Chains A and B, each alone.
Chain A
Amino acid sequence: MPTTPSTNPSQVPLHQRRAAKVDRLAELMGERGDEGHGAGVWREALQRMRRSPMAITGAAIVALFVVVALLSEFIAPYGATSQTWGGEVFPNRNEFVGPRAENWLGLDHLGRDMFSRMVIGARQTLLVGVVATLVGFLFGALLGGAAGACSVLGGRWGRQVDNVVMRVIDMMLAMPTLLLAVTVAALVGPSLTTVMVAVGVAQIPIFARLLRGAMISQGSREYVLAAEALGVRRHRIALTHILPNSMGPVIVQSTLTLATAIIDAAALSYLGLGNPDASSPEWGTMLSEAQRFLSSAPSLAVYPALGIIITALGFTLLGEALREALDPKLRK
């Protein structure tokens, strides 16, 4: 129910009275009273996703990946660097050890347990994906949100600001993702942080464009006009009215970005910009290391590659299902 106006309106501060009015107006416009528009959209989307096999597959893969990554210490039977069986593997003579009882996925080229490295690698891979996506999301949303808010509410001056910001974003878009990442890596030197920052920075323009576009399209809605007419402060309209309603595409993109971040990170490792530290294996690094033995021991490359592909597939399926569930055209 709405916040009932105070018995003596003059004692309530002006902006609170205005806010209460807007809340009531939004409520009258909404189909379901006390729930609020935003919550309804998301709840509906969730219900649709529960019926979609695509979403369930994606969610299952992602859940498995996250559980393995978080509990890697307890799942991995051996350490990532322990070369207990170093004497049994001779890459020069093409002698490798395949799957057996004590090493479920066999040994890698230095005699380390492949299964343990895959499990421990899951955590590093998740870390890269999440941090890179967060970097892109935070800075992209900041830039795009500012540009969108200025464009919608700032009048002529605001559109100028929006124009300038978008030109910068366009320039960033013009740089190929991989090359942008290579330049960051070239400045800071190869490490896991480099990969995370590099991949994340490359995602900033995409997030910025998406949020700005969504905010501008929300800006022409009646509820924004109503809020403006009631004299609600502009930053309040931007933050509490337009922004929450514009987050849909950005959240979908985050899910999809988790997949691309993992793939891009693998490409960066292949270019030799990844983490040189062997004690914290990451699937991309493992994959590029294993390329050398691809013709003699293909499984060394296939396991990390499958890990990357399946995980990326999981995030992509989840993101696509979410996108479909939120698509107003497909609703009802």
Chain B
Amino acid sequence: MLRFIVRRLLQLIPTLGGLSILLFVWLQRLPGGPEYALLPDDATAEQRAALRRSLGLEEPVAVQYLAFLRRITQGDLGTSIQTGRPVLEEFLLRFPATFELAVTAMLIAVTAGLPLGYLAARRRGTVLDFAAVGGSLLGICTPVFFLAFILKVIFAERLGVFPSAFRLSPGLSRTDITGFVVLDGLMTREWDVVTDALAHLVLPGLALASIPLAVITRMTRASVLEVMGEDYVRTANAKGLHRTTVRTRHVLRNALLPVVTAVGLLAGSLFAGAVLTESVFAFPGIGSFVYEATQNRDYPVLTGFILLIATMYVFINLLVDISYSLLDPRVRAQ
């Protein structure tokens, strides 16, 4: 097992290395280098050249790349043009909000998608099956930001059931310990903060959950259907095992393998999806920040975000592989 993990970790090195090269090349190609961003418009060509030299931009490309690599491995992703503060600091400040949102969305998607997909497979051809399949198709085909707007207009503006923006109602006092609002509220027993924060998570969570929910429902359904047709399920039924035993031990356990992979990969995509959802609900997380960065062409923030997402994706992939090998011994042997 340990050898498997170490081998997979070693395989990450070329991927991450190549990714850093891609990002570096992209940064080099950007129009208007720092000599335009840092100096006033009326600066002379000599001044710009001097600044380029002092920033090391006249060095050979290889040297520049190594310097870039040193900076990003030390966590220096540059400075945000919008706020003038280090990008990493801005991300860390907003990370708890996005993390809470992503966890909410994943919880909604998994707790609704797994049973729905399972029931749809068990009652294949019924109204429930049709609704589950049709609903998930619709979920995949609806633009996330439009769904977010619709939810906001109906449930926040028309019905007023849920708040329409931010993480907490303004004016609510709370003790900040970790930056995770719900967790802090639970730790300090400020129940009004917990309920308020949860109410703020419902609508953006639903919008963000739409695509994972659809994918999980469909995958679970397809996977359960496939496993139910397997010989070993018929054998288990034939030898008189209890229905529940067959369904949990034989069907579900095997059917959930591909779903685990999907859940892992979807978790990574949630952070990217948050860009659209958070901006609609003015949710103060990384997504809103990146949305503003796309509006203002804040390149350091964008590159930082790509690096963050890509690294996360690569590590989530690793976790998926590891959990897969725990669930399925055949993978380890390869």
Contacts and interface: CB of A to CB of B under 8 A. Distances in A.
Tell me if A's interface is mostly helix, strand, loop or mixed.
helix
Contacts of B291: 271
Interface residues of B, number: 40
Contacts of A170: 15
Interface in A292-320: 294-295, 298, 301, 305, 308-309, 312-313, 316-317, 320
Contact of A171 (B15, B271, B272, B275): B15
Contacts, number: 108
B145 A267 contact: yes
Given A182-B294, A267-B143, A312-B141, A298 B302 contact: no
Interface stretch (B18-26, B85-93, B109-117): B18-26
A174 interface: yes
B73 to A, nearest CB: 17
A251 to B, nearest CB: 19
A250 interface: no
Nearest to A178: B272
Contacts of B137: 313, 316-317, 320
A226 interface: no
Contacts of B15: 167, 170-171, 174
Nearest to A291: B149
Contacts of B302: 179, 182-183, 186
A170 B149 CA distance: 34
A1 interface: no
Tell me if B's interface is mostly helix, strand, loop or mixed.
helix
B4 interface: no
Interface residues of A, number: 39
Nearest to B280: A291
A186 B297 contact: yes
A239 interface: no
Contacts of A245: none
Contacts of A75: none
B176 interface: no
- Residue among A179, A288, A295, A301 facing the most chain B CB atoms (10 A cut-off): A179
Nearest to A187: B29
Interface in B266-286: 268-269, 271-273, 275-276
Contact of A295 (B30, B142, B153): B153
A175 B310 contact: yes
Contact of B294 (A187, A272, A284, A313): A272
A267 B30 contact: no
- Residue among A266, A270, A284, A320 facing the most chain B CB atoms (10 A cut-off): A270
A176 interface: yes
B180 interface: no
Contact of B143 (A167, A174, A176, A266): A266
Contact of B157 (A171, A263, A295, A301): A295
Nearest to A177: B272
Interface of B: 14-15, 18-19, 22, 26, 29-31, 137-138, 140-146, 149, 153, 157, 268-269, 271-273, 275-276, 291, 294-295, 297, 299, 302, 305-306, 309-310, 313-314
List of 10 A-B pairs having minimum Cβ-Cβ separation, nearest first: A176-B272, A312-B141, A174-B310, A174-B313, A266-B143, A313-B141, A305-B146, A171-B19, A171-B18, A270-B145
8 contacts: A171-B19, A179-B302, A186-B302, A267-B143, A271-B275, A288-B145, A309-B142, A312-B141
Given A305-B146, A313-B137, 5 more contacts: A171-B15, A174-B313, A176-B306, A178-B276, A187-B26
